[in-house]
């Protein structure tokens, strides 16, 4: 739907979700301006591990989104350059004890009914999959649909592949949203001036709540801090994404206190990435030795070989957390022309393509690839907020 503006859609946020929105919108023939106050992948995208997971999701809307996204990532891997480091490596979830294995078995039985491939691996076969795994584990489950990308490069190459219909405006903070007399979106205001378009997509990630507030609507996105510990470069010592079964419970929890569960994976560049910690401490970037100690302890318990290698550095980021652990995707019924694509918590890399496709379909008036009802951006609103002047 061409307009008199230079753009049909403005995407606020140049993380992987914003990049995917731009990619699919451009693919639908729309002209897109992507605005970010920082650089490409400068927020949570650049602080992730690049997980494309179905294994940690129970049946429900997020899993459907993840399965759809997994198929799209596989397509994208054929289109984008190899530098995005797409690896369909599979996941391996291990249970330290019999009780955990039993719970994991029940979980996978439910996942299978929703289209997840989950192959139970008895204890004695675990080391065929991962030779360095600690002895004494009760068993595990192999998830061949799990994959990984290098998230910052994936975001950058999505934007590049989107081609000439996408204009990038980096280092430009959105300070206001422009609305017409009817309250419908007309564009955004930045420190450098105004950009006009009839659609604005909120892909501001953990800062999506702030952007929503500029539009006069409430979206309770909260930061959930995580650290990743990075080892020195190694040959392939970990083949899959390997994690302990208690990770799933941590992801689903709403606790503000520090939680850690061992998540270990290699990278094509060499370093092994060790996660995952979760805590709600606002936007505090202070390094937490306690969190790093627990990450290291968890990883070396799963892979004793890692005790002999050195951690080189750590990085931190803020997952965009919504209270029901589901993202906000789609048009905001409170503000015509405003769409949201944020709040993906720790799954944004994985869920980005389906999110981008949904947004593109909504803007062009086409049918989204799945039911977006559960992601309704206004589902948290207890009362209507005031519209912007």
- The footprint of another protein (CB under 8 A) covers 130-132, 232-237, 239, 270, 305, 309-310
User: ∠ CA 365-366-372 to the nearest 5 degrees?
Assistant: 95
Q: Closer to another protein by CB, 239 or 379: give it.
A: 239
Q: Closer to another protein by CB, 115 or 233: give it.
A: 233
In 3D, which of 377, 320, 337 has the Cα closest to residue 47?
320
Q: Closer to another protein by CB, 129 or 301: give it.
A: 129
Q: Closer to another protein by CB, 231 or 261: give it.
A: 231
State the minimum distance, in angstroms, from the CB of residue 306 to another protein. Answer: 10
Angstrom CA distances, 113 to 58, 108, 117, 367, stand at: 10, 9, 9, 25
Q: Closer to another protein by CB, 270 or 369: give it.
A: 270
State the minimum distance, in angstroms, from the CB of residue 284 to another protein. Answer: 28
**What's the N-to-C CA distance of the chain in angstroms?**
27
Query: Quick one: CA dihedral 349, 369, 86, 158, positive or negative?
Result: negative
State the minimum distance, in angstroms, from the CB of residue 145 to another protein. Answer: 22
| 275 phi/psi in degrees, rounded to 5 | -125, -165
Residue 49 to residue 178: CA distance in whole angstroms:
35
State the minimum distance, in angstroms, from the CB of residue 269 to another protein. Answer: 9
Checking DSSP bridges between strand 222-231 and strand 273-278, what pairing results, if any? antiparallel
Checking DSSP bridges between strand 199-202 and strand 9-12, what pairing results, if any? parallel
| List of residues 6+ apart from 330 with CB closer than 8 A | 339, 340, 358, 359, 362, 368, 372, 375, 376, 377
| 79 phi/psi in degrees, rounded to 5 | -100, -45
Tokens of 211: 């952007």
State the minimum distance, in angstroms, from the CB of residue 219 to another protein. Answer: 43
Residue 120 to residue 143: CA distance in whole angstroms:
9
Q: Closer to another protein by CB, 267 or 288: give it.
A: 267
Tokens of 329: 């995707």
Query: Quick one: CA dihedral 370, 374, 379, 380, positive or negative?
Result: negative
State the minimum distance, in angstroms, from the CB of residue 188 to another protein. Answer: 41
Q: Closer to another protein by CB, 99 or 269: give it.
A: 269
State the minimum distance, in angstroms, from the CB of residue 156 to another protein. Answer: 21
Q: Closer to another protein by CB, 195 or 238: give it.
A: 238
Q: Closer to another protein by CB, 285 or 313: give it.
A: 313
State the minimum distance, in angstroms, from the CB of residue 308 to another protein. Answer: 8
Tokens of 301: 């318990």
State the minimum distance, in angstroms, from the CB of residue 71 to another protein. Answer: 29
Residue 249 is given by DSSP the state H
Query: Quick one: CA dihedral 182, 177, 318, 88, positive or negative?
Result: positive
């Amino acid at each position: 739907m061409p307009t008199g503006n230079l753009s049909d859609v403005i995407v606020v946020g140049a993380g992987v979700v914003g990049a995917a929105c731009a990619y699919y919108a451009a693919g639908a023939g729309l002209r897109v301006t992507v605005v970010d106050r920082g650089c490409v992948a400068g927020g949570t995208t650049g602080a992730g591990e690049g997980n494309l997971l179905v294994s940690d999701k129970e049946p429900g809307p997020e899993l459907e989104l993840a399965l759809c996204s997994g198929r799209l990532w596989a397509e994208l891997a054929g289109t984008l350059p190899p530098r995005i480091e797409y690896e369909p490596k599979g996941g391996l979830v291990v249970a330290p004890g019999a009780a955990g294995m039993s719970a994991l078995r029940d979980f996978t039985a439910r996942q299978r009914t929703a289209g997840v491939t989950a192959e139970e691996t008895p204890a004695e076969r675990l080391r065929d999959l991962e030779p360095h795994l600690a002895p004494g584990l009760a068993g595990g489950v192999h998830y061949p649909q799990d994959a990984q990308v290098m998230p910052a490069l994936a975001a950058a190459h999505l934007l590049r592949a989107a081609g000439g219909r996408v204009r990038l405006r980096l280092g430009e903070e959105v300070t206001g949203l422009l609305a017409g007399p009817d309250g419908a979106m007309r564009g955004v205001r930045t420190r450098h001036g105004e950009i006009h378009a009839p659609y604005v997509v909120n892909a501001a990630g953990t800062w999506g709540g702030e952007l929503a507030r500029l539009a006069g609507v409430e979206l309770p996105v909260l930061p959930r801090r995580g650290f990743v510990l990075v080892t020195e470069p190694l040959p392939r010592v970990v083949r899959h994404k390997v994690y302990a079964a208690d990770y799933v419970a941590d992801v689903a929890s709403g606790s503000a206190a520090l939680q850690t569960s061992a998540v270990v994976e290699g990278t094509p560049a060499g370093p092994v990435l060790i996660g995952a910690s979760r805590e709600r401490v606002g936007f505090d970037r202070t390094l937490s030795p306690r969190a790093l100690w627990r990450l290291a302890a968890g990883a070396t318990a799963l892979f004793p070989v890692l005790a002999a290698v050195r951690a080189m550095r750590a990085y931190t980021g803020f997952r965009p957390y919504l209270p029901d652990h589901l993202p906000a995707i789609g048009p905001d019924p409170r503000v015509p022309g405003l769409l949201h694509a944020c709040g993906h918590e720790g799954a944004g890399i994985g869920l980005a393509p389906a999110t981008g496709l949904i947004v593109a379909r909504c803007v062009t008036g086409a049918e989204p690839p799945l039911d977006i009802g559960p992601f309704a951006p206004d589902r948290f609103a207890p009362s209507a907020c005031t519209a912007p002047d």
